[in-house]
Amino acid sequence: MPDSKSMDIDHILEIQSALAVDLGGTHLRVAIVTNSGKIVYKTSKPTPDGNDEKLRELLNMLQEACCEAVDLNCRILGVGISTGGRVNPRAGIVMHSTKALDGWNEIDLRSPISAKMHLPVWVDNDGNCAALGERKFGCGVNIEDFITIATGTGIGGGIILDNKLIHGNNFCAAELGHIKVSLDGPKCLCGSTGCAEAYSSGAALQREAVKLNEAGELFINGYKNEGNQQISAKHLMEAAEHGNQKAQAVIDLAAKAMGYAVTSMLHVLNPSLVILCGIFAPLYVNEVRRMVDEDALRSARNVQIRASELVEPALLGAASIVLEYATRRTY
């Protein structure tokens, strides 16, 4: 048996790391993230439909990641979970979700995962995690006041003010996708109408892509649906790249809706930086900048509008919660 000094040396040589989870409406992803922000392992699977199936799949993926951690010489300090829905991070419970994660309500994630993995578990909303990822590893490093907008199946957000993450009175702060950008407009997955998410989310773009496809106006100009795939936002983006003007008009309207939402946020919070994250950020960022320059109050225009440089801000943010707490830094 090695002496205590040898064991201490082995302990030091291990790479302090976190298991990070991103549970979205479309994909369930698990990664190993080191304390320097490097993703050394990542796996992804389609998000199962049922709640029990989601939890079962997640546990299997976490156990597989732990096996990989041994080979990678990573010491896992805990599990950080980024999930859609309104989350009570103190209790580790998903309180409520929209139809993007239908039925994902009153779910205790902390207890079963901690019991199975024998690790501490932290849980927060995906938009909040994206903001934490930017604060720790991205554009938000050393920035005290900024907003992150996460674009994906839905639209999430996170707000950092005075270097603190804002959760709100009952953990409903930064639901930025549900800022009204129209008095009418399409119906949102939250049940209301005219929300930014109803225009700018992946679900909204998919809805419009389906409409164009049903009208025979999506696959034109030589663009074809190879393999007869299910219609998605990706097809709308690709159609626009092939010169489809109607597809481009949908994307332009989505970017404009995002611009209205960001301008409203500037007038309420007056941050120094707004970060757009996710697959749609590059599509929206220039139009958002233009609208802020034209429509925001002059005193609110002194703001940077940037697309995230992080590939996985929510995963990195989930990991950062573990790394901050486990290394006794302030969260």
Sheet containing 273-278, strands listed edge to edge, beginning at the edge strand earlier in sequence? 164-165, 155-161, 146-151, 273-278, 304-307
Q: What is the pLDDT of residues 101-117, one digit of tens each?
A: 888 999 999 999 999 99
Please answer whether residues 321 and 132 qualify as being in contact, where contact means their C-beta atoms are separated by less than 8 angstroms: yes
Q: What is the pLDDT along the chain (331 residues), one digit of tens a residue?
A: 444 444 445 455 679 999 999 998 889 999 999 999 999 999 999 999 999 999 999 999 999 999 999 999 999 999 999 998 899 999 999 999 877 788 899 999 999 999 999 999 999 999 999 999 999 999 999 999 999 999 988 899 999 999 999 999 999 999 999 999 999 899 998 899 999 999 999 999 999 999 999 999 999 999 999 888 999 999 999 999 999 999 999 999 999 999 999 999 999 999 999 999 999 999 999 999 999 999 999 999 999 999 999 999 999 999 999 999 887 644 4
Q: Is 3 a catalytic residue?
A: no
Q: Reduce the DSSP state of residue 118 to 3 states and report it.
A: coil
Q: Each residue of 300-328: b (16+ CB within 10 Å) or e?
A: beebebbbbebebbbbbbbbbbbbbbbee
- Around 209, how many Cα atoms within 13 Å sit in the side-chain half-sphere? 22
Q: Cβ atoms within 10 A of the Cβ of 97, count? A: 22
For 251, the enclosing helix (H) or strand (E) is helix 245-269
- Cα dihedral sign, 42-45-321-274: positive
Beta strands in the chain (DSSP E): 15-23, 27-34, 39-46, 74-83, 86-88, 93-96, 107-108, 121-125, 146-151, 155-161, 164-165, 273-278, 304-307
For 302, the enclosing helix (H) or strand (E) is none
Active-site entry in 3, 124, 126, 162: 126
For 192, the enclosing helix (H) or strand (E) is none
Contacting residues for 229 by C-beta, under 8 A, at least 6 apart: 235
d(CA 282, CA 31): 24
